[in-house]
Amino acid sequence: MTRRTSDPGSATRRPAPFRALAAVVLAGALAFTATACTKAGEQGGGPSFQGGSEAEEKPKASAAITAPAADAKDVPASAEIAFNSKDAVETAVEVKNAAGEAVKGAVTGAGTWLPEKALEYGTTYTATVTATGDDGKPATTTSTFTTMAKPGKQIRVTSFLGDGQTVGVGMPLIVKFSRAVPEDYRDDVQRRMTVRATPAQEGIWHWVSPTEVRYRPKTYWKANTKIFYKIQAGGLPMGGGWYGRSDLTVDIKTGPAVVMTVDNKTKKMTVKRDGKVIKTIPISLGKKSTPSSSGTMVVIEKLKKTVFNTMDDPNPANRYITDIEYAQRLTWGGEFIHAAPWSVASQGRTNVSHGCVNMSTANANWLFNQTRVGDPIQVKGTERKLENGNGWTDWNMSWDQYVKGSAIPAGETAATPSTEPTTEATTTG
298 and 371 in a single domain? The answer is yes
- Given a cut of 50, is residue 22 above it in pLDDT? no
Position 30 in a domain? no
Find the length of the chain.
429
Position 411 in a domain? no
246 and 137 in a single domain? The answer is no
Average the pLDDT over each of 49-63, 174-188, 214-228 and give the range with the smallest value: 49-63
Residue 360 to residue 269: CA distance in whole angstroms: 12
- Catalytic pick among 37, 206, 338, 354: 338
3-state secondary structure of 381: coil
262 and 389 in a single domain? The answer is yes
3-state secondary structure of 395: helix
264 and 378 in a single domain? The answer is yes
Higher pLDDT residue, 359 or 314?
Answer: 359
Answer yes or no: are the C-beta atoms of 131 and 62 closer than 8 Å: yes
215 and 282 in a single domain? The answer is no
328 and 376 in a single domain? The answer is yes
- 383-411 confidence digits (pLDDT tens): 999 999 999 999 999 999 999 999 998 77
Answer yes or no: are the C-beta atoms of 221 and 171 closer than 8 Å: yes
Question: Per-residue pLDDT averaged across 17-33, rounded?
Answer: 32
335 and 361 in a single domain? The answer is yes
Q: Which domain holds residue 217?
A: 154-256
Q: CATH no. for residue 119?
A: 2.60.40.3780
Q: CATH no. for residue 344?
A: 2.40.440.10
User: What percent of the chain clears pLDDT 70, i.e. is strictly above it?
Assistant: 83
Question: Per-residue pLDDT averaged across 93-108, rounded?
Answer: 95
Position 189 in a domain? yes
Catalytic residue list contains 338: yes
- The residue among 231, 256, 281 that closes a domain is 256
pLDDT at site 45: 42
- The residue among 222, 256, 290 that closes a domain is 256
First to last CA, the chain: 35
pLDDT at site 103: 97
Position 194 in a domain? yes
Average the pLDDT over each of 91-95, 254-258, 316-320, 363-367 and give the range with the smallest value: 316-320
Residue 258 to residue 223: CA distance in whole angstroms: 9
pLDDT at site 56: 65
Residue 159 to residue 197: CA distance in whole angstroms: 17
Q: CATH no. for residue 206?
A: 2.60.40.3710
177 and 204 in a single domain? The answer is yes
Catalytic residue list contains 37: no
- 127-161 confidence digits (pLDDT tens): 999 999 998 899 999 999 999 999 999 999 999 99
- The residue among 256, 282, 310 that closes a domain is 256
The pTM score is 0.80
- Given a cut of 80, is residue 317 above it in pLDDT? no
- 283-303 confidence digits (pLDDT tens): 999 999 999 999 999 999 999
Question: Per-residue pLDDT averaged across 244-270, rounded?
Answer: 98
Answer yes or no: are the C-beta atoms of 189 and 181 closer than 8 Å: yes
Render 224-253 in DSSP notation, one character per residue: T-EEEEEE--TT-B-STT-EE---EEEEEE
Number of domains, the chain: 3
Average pLDDT in the chain = 86
pLDDT at site 423: 31
pLDDT at site 151: 97
Position 169 in a domain? yes
Angstrom CA distances, 372 to 159, 171, 211, 261, 369, stand at 18, 9, 26, 15, 8
262 and 340 in a single domain? The answer is yes
- Given a cut of 60, is residue 347 above it in pLDDT? yes
- Catalytic pick among 37, 206, 354, 356: 356
